[in-house]
Each structure stands twice: as structure tokens, then as C-alpha cells.
Amino acid sequence: MSDAATLPEEWSGYLKPEDMERLATAYQFSEAAHSGQFRASGEPYISHPLEVANILAKLHLDSQALTAALLHDVMEDTSVTKAEITRKFGKSVAELVDGVSKLDHIEFETREAAQAENFRKMLLAMSRDVRVMLIKLADRLHNMRTLGAVPAAKRKRIARETLEIYAPIANRLGLNNIFQELEDLSFSFLYPARNRVLTKALVAARGHRREVVGKVRDAITERLKQDGMEAAVQGREKHVHSIYRKMIEKRLQFAKVLDVFGFRIIVKDTPACYLALGALHGLYKPIPGSFKDYIAIPKENGYQSLHTTLFGPFGSPIEMQIRTQEMHKIAEAGVASHWLYKNSGASLNELQKKTHQWLQSLLQVQLDGGDSVAFLEHLKIDLFPDAVYVFTPKGKILSQPRGATGVDFAYAVHTDIGNRCVAVKINDELVPLRTELRNGDRVEIITASHAKPNPQWLNYVVTANARAHIRHFLKTMQSQESAQLGERLLNQALGTFKSSLAQFKEPQWKKLIKDTGAKSLEDLLSDIGLGKRLSVVVARRLLSLGDASTGERKASGPVMIRGSEGMAVQFAHCCTPIPGDPIIGLINKGQGMAIHTHDCPVIAKSRSDPDKVFDVEWSPDTKKLFSVSIRLVAMNQRGVLAKVAAEIAEANSNIDNVAVDSGDGDQYATLRFTLQVSNRLHLAQIMRALRRIPAVIRITRTKN
């Protein structure tokens, strides 16, 4: 058995004696649970949870987090249950352990799906308590330190996963030391030969650079002292993976990357940061465009510093980071600073607020329908490190990922603003919604009460938040519109049996929903509208539940098409039907109903299938405008296009598209228009008006 003396002495430096006793109990419990288990390296398994807890203790995490770290594998690798942990160590510890545990008891089709679901579970648990991810990051860090003991294929898979997901999460949470170590370890296992070469070159370069770095440090220290400033000046060395990334991204040789000398200046307060900046710009000339003020506009993970690059005394650039001691603490420990430095003040409260907002935004992605792989892709987008900082009309700063558009910004302000946005002004100028935002832009969203998200937005939004809300809205809207269409199709099918929806009572509907396995009546009707269920089959089943006689089939009234059905009803591009055309409805499974003209060759093969083809008619009160194509042959004269366009506008029609073909000669030109019309009568009026133009030779309606 073990007692508190078994635990590292450093823990007792900040934990209370009763906390140490509780941790000793957790250690004993974990040691007993993992008894007989060994790691791939041959060590007893208990060495792993102890080291994970030790990593967290260096961040001064509380005793609950350390207890959960000691127990983090017992649910996954032993017979211990969540209920047992709750009884012995409390609900909070049990929730932390559960959040970290994988979902090995569920069968997944692919490794990617399993990995994605595990990430989703952890991240959603993290949105409730960030300590879940801190424990997971410490777990991954120790696993990476001992990864050499596992087979090569598994080694590469884990290293890639760490580089793509865990290291960016550590960076997003501001855990700089953990982030850098995870990146370097991943790089060493993914590219061992490159890592060896770079590490060897770095060690050699360090010796050559020592004298140069010393001279620059002395010059900086002396200049700051002359200006009456107390400051700690530290040389800052890049880690191996950041050197490699810079070589790849900027296509530089190793020597060129190492020409950049890095220094960190730590001063007493914020005004001193700007005074130090002025002193350094007086000592060495700044490189234009290299200054970044992360104090006025902090990074998303709470990082604050002034960055500037100077021309050094030996012709090499010198990178400077100027910050206060408080800023330095946050830069090193990020969100964990809350535990590590409990007296850090208001800046940490702001950091916690930002982190909480980001974690809560992860929950919003769940509106996307619960696809784990999509969730993981959204997460990768949100972890993209580059950000742009833009302003609302009232001067509030919002940060967006690089590549974000006006639509992303609208959803970042509020979901309703995103759903109702119709235009965007950037720096007081109207621009397309897909315009990418740049640093310093002032962005204003213009909304309309009737507006709704456009499916095309999904082609260019980059934030998970915007994508999730757009998909949720479209899915809900499609479901409602499909249910309305499904109700009409089912009523039509019942009409062939001399029946109607009104004849059936609630008990029959409940029985029908249960028999068909639908979640609700709306889902059942939506499935009919989308073609996933046949209305005739559902009608027969419904009739079998009631007293109504099936009788003889007789023709029922057609489904009326208003043009306002939304996504549940599409108008076929092959024949572009407009009100007045004889039409027919074709159910496409999962896509709803497509409306074709009677003579459309596309539906010739389907006409004999009564379950796919439905009688439809235009409603007399259609108010929508419909697209139609016309082909016009005219004499190739100056101003003819303007005359044609003027006549179309005079006839109250819009031109969607126009194409002009002069042909082989110069005498005649062919003009193809896509117009917006109300019905066939409206189209006939337009064509009559165009025929009155002397230059127009021939005009016809065209179908694709």
C-alpha cells in the first residue's frame, strides 16, 4: 500500500495536507486497478497516470484535476465504473475521468469515425470543464515522450494526430510549453531523419551564434538602462518544428532561418512596453510592416506582447517580443494560468471569458446534425492559428479566422443577424457577402426581416459556427417544407381510396407512426415529401388502421403547385416549366418533387411508374417569378441589345443572364436570354413586344 509520501514532494508545496491524503488514496486505487498491467516500455502501468498528474502539478492544477489524472485510464482499461469513482471520489472527479475516457465499447465503421467521436466527446466535456482537455493534453504529452516503445506504424499515426489536433488545441488554450514540446516530439517521430539533421545543425549554430547574441543582448540592456528602464532581456531560441515549418513555408535554407535572432524583453507594466519599443527603435532601425500590437488587440488565446523586427548590427533581422511579467505568465501557461498564478488579476478573467466563449461555440456545432467527422473538420478549421481582427460599427473588436467572410462575421455577431443578412458593408462600401475580411476592416451587416440563409453560403464560409447555423436552418426549413408537401401528397393518395386526412383520429396516427418507425408525424410527412416513403404505401397502411373502406380507386384531384414550396419542390432545368405549361410531378428519393413539363423527354421512362409520377397543376394564385430561356436572332446593329433590354424591362421582367453570339458573319447575331416571368401569358407579352423591334428577325422559347 502507499501513502502521501509516495507522491512527488513538489505537490505539497501548493496543495493542502488533506488534498495530499486524497491524492494518496487515488494513487492506491489506481495502482490496484492497474495491477499486473505494463506499458509498452515494460514499466508498471501506474507510472503513466502518476507522470500525467505530475505534468499538471507543474501547472498547479487543483486536487480534483490531479485525482482525475491519476484515475484517467481506470474506466477505459479496467473494470472500474463511473458510479464507483463517483462514490469514492465525488461527482466532479467522475465527470472529469469520463470526459477523458475513450468510447472503445462502441463499434465504429472506420478508425476515422471512432477518432472523430472520441474528440467530440472530449471537446464537449471540455466545454463544460476545461480541465478535461488539460488532463488529455498531459496524457498525450507523456505518451509522446514514451512513443519510441510502440510499433512504427502506430507511432506515425499517433504523431500525426498529435500534430494536427492536440498541438493546435494546446496552442489555442495558450499552453505554449506543451504546444512546442508536442510539435517537436511529433516532428521527431514523423520525420526522424530531418529531425536529426536539423537538431545537429541547431546545436552547431548555437555555438557559432553565442558571441553575436551576447553582444546584441548587452547593447539592448545598456540602451534600456540609459532610458531609465528596468527590464529582463532573454535570448529566445526557436524550436525545431517551427524552424522546419518556416523553411517549408518561406522556402528558406536553414542558415537563412537561423539568421533571425530572437529576444524577449520583460518590463514592469504596459506603458513600459511602449517606452521600451521606442528605445529599441532608436537603437536599431525597424523593418517596415513588421510591427504587431498584440497588447491592444490580444490573440484569441489571451496572448499579449508587442512584436517588432529590427535590422541588427550584423545585417541580420532581430525579432523582439516586449511584454510585462503578467503577460509572460499567460504566454507560457495560457488558460492554466488561472491555477498557476491565482493573483493574476483582470487580464486572466478576460482570458477565461474568451476561452469559455470558444468552448461554448463548440456546442453550437452540434446543431449540424451530430456528424462526428464533420465536427472534427469544423474543429480543425477553428484551430487554424491565423486570425484577422475586425471592428463592428460601434468599435468592438471581433477576431475571425483568416479567410473569413461577411457571412462568418454576421454569425459571429448573432445567429439572427447571420440568418437575416442580405448585404455587407466593409469600410462603408457595399461588397459581396463572400468578400474576405482583412485586418482592421470596419464591418456592417445589413439585414432584412424576410431574408433567410442561402445554401450557396456553405461554399465560402470558413467558421464552424456559421456553417453549423446555416446547415441547421436549411435542414429545419427543408423538413418543414417537405412535411407540407408530404401532407398534400398523402391526402391525394387517400383521395384515390375515397378518403382524406380529416377522417382519421389521433389513435390511428399514433399507431401509424409506431408501425412505420418514424419519430413523429412531421418526420413521416417529411419523408413522403422527400420521396423516402411512397404516399400510396403510407395511405394503404393508414386505411388498414381505420374503419374506412378501401373501396375502388378513383381519380383524385391533382397536387396544386404555388411556386412557394421552397426546397421541397424544384423546377426542372431541362424543361423550365412556367405557369400555364401542362406539368407533371416526379418524386426523386431524398430530394423531394421535381416539376417537369408534360412533353419533357427526361421523364419519359418514369411516366409508367405511378409511385413516382404525380398529377400536379398550377395554383391560380402563383406569385413567384419563374426562369425561362428565349433565343433571339437580330440584325447585328449598334444599340440592338439596348433596345431589346429596354423592351424586356418595360414588360416588367428581369434579365437573369444574357449571352451574345455573332456567328461566322457580321450580319446577324444570336442573343440568348434567361428571363424572370410570372406565367406563359407574361412571356407571350414580352415576345410580342420584342417582335415589334425592326431589327429582330426571329424569337423562340428554348428548353435545355
Active-site option among 21, 77, 371, 377 = 77
CA dist 266 to 225, 278, 303, 311, 328, Å? 13, 15, 14, 21, 8
554, 609 Cβ separation under 8 angstroms: no
Active-site option among 18, 21, 62, 76 = 76
Tell me the CB-side half-sphere exposure of residue 67, using CA atoms within 13 A: 25
In single-letter form, the type of residue at position 394 comes to: K
Selection from 512, 494, 481, 487 nearest residue 591 by Cα = 481
Alpha-carbon distance of 32 to 35, in angstroms, equals 5
Contacts of residue 587, Cβ cutoff 8 Å, sequence gap at least 6: 531, 593, 611, 612, 613, 614
697, 668 Cβ separation under 8 angstroms: yes
CA dist 408 to 63, 302, 380, 506, 700, Å? 40, 22, 16, 44, 44
Q: Catalytic residue at 84?
A: no
Alpha-carbon distance of 451 to 457, in angstroms, equals 13
Strand partners, 675: 628, 655
CA 27 to chain centre: 39
Contacts of residue 141, Cβ cutoff 8 Å, sequence gap at least 6: 55, 178, 181, 182, 185
Strands (E), 41-144: none
**Long-range interactions of 447-451: CB distance < 8 A, separation 24+:** 447/417, 447/420, 447/421, 447/422, 448/420, 448/422, 449/420, 451/419, 451/420, 451/421, 451/422
83, 61 Cβ separation under 8 angstroms: no
Q: Catalytic residue at 382?
A: no
Alpha-carbon distance of 22 to 20, in angstroms, equals 5
Cell of 564: 412557394
In single-letter form, the type of residue at position 612 comes to: K
Q: Whose grid coordinates read 471537446?
A: 123
CA dist 435 to 116, 137, 408, Å? 31, 37, 10
Alpha-carbon distance of 27 to 291, in angstroms, equals 50
Exposure letters 350-360 (e unless 16+ CB within 10 A, then b): ebeebbeebbe
Cβ-based burial of 670 (10 A; exposed 0-12, middle 13-18, buried ≥19): middle
CB atoms within 10 A of CB 20: 18
Alpha-carbon distance of 188 to 53, in angstroms, equals 25
DSSP string for 222-275: HHHHHTT---EEEE-PPPHHHHHHHHHHHT--HHHHHT-EEEEEEESSHHHHHH
Question: Catalytic positions, please?
Answer: 76-77
